[in-house]
Amino acid sequence: MVTKADVFIIESLDPDDEGNGRFEGSSLSHILRLHGKDPRYSYVRTKEQFIAALKEFSDSSYRYLHISAHADADGMCTTNLDDISYSELAALLNPYMKGKRLFLSACAMVHEEMAKAIIPLTQCTSIVGPRQLVGFAEAAVMWPAVYHLMFSASDSAMTHAVLKENLKKVSTLFDVELGYFSKSKLSARGYTMDLLKR
């Protein structure tokens, strides 16, 4: 299937974030449009809406899925506090992620247990995200920096080497540890792991 080198954003925050206008996804959409991209943005409050947004992502044929949500070591949750474990998230993503990249703006969510649940099942190309708590202001500038560097390097593709190089730059600039898990046929577990930190 032919995919488009563009970003589909799904965001689900808590009521306090909503009340204070802390929408990372809409800010990121604006930056992506400045790059000539046509991002899709879907704000969801429930698990059912999240599932519907994933179907929209599939229908869009976009290559990059960016999820902005609150999370912990066990999984993520929606605005209405619907918990989604890693195994459940993997099952929800499974029909839609083969050959695509997943970017997770969700604190402490990107670790090996998550990668083990998602990559072998979905066959996604990679998963990227912070491995520590990241404030809204940090996230709101860090993610545009990632996409700016990547789309400046190439408007049509993200290669492993360039993505890793640019994630190192962003990690150093913002002093944030990033996890980069990439599908690998050579590894028995099905993926490689890079922890990028200053």
Give the model confidence (pLDDT) of 66-111 as tens digits.
999 988 888 898 988 899 999 999 999 999 999 999 999 988 789 9
Does the pTM surpass 0.85? The reply is: yes
Give the model confidence (pLDDT) of 31-67 as tens digits.
999 999 999 999 999 999 999 999 999 999 999 999 9
CATH number of the domain encompassing residue 161? 3.40.50.1460
| pLDDT range class, residue 13, cuts 50, 70, 90 | confident
Q: What does the pLDDT read at residue 132?
A: 86
Q: What is the SS3 assignment for the chain?
A: CCCEEEEEEEEECCHHHHHCCCCHHHHHHHHHHHCCCCCEEEECCCHHHHHHHHHHHHHHCEEEEEEEEEEECCEEECCCCCEEEHHHHHHHHCCCCCCCEEEEECCCCCCHHHHHHHHHHHCCCEEEEECCCCCHHHHHHHHHHHHHHHHHHCCCCCCHHHHHHHHHHHHHHHCCCEEEEEECCCCCCCEEEEEECC
Segments forming the whole domain that contains residue 16: 4-196
| pLDDT range class, residue 21, cuts 50, 70, 90 | low
The structural domain count of the chain equals: 1
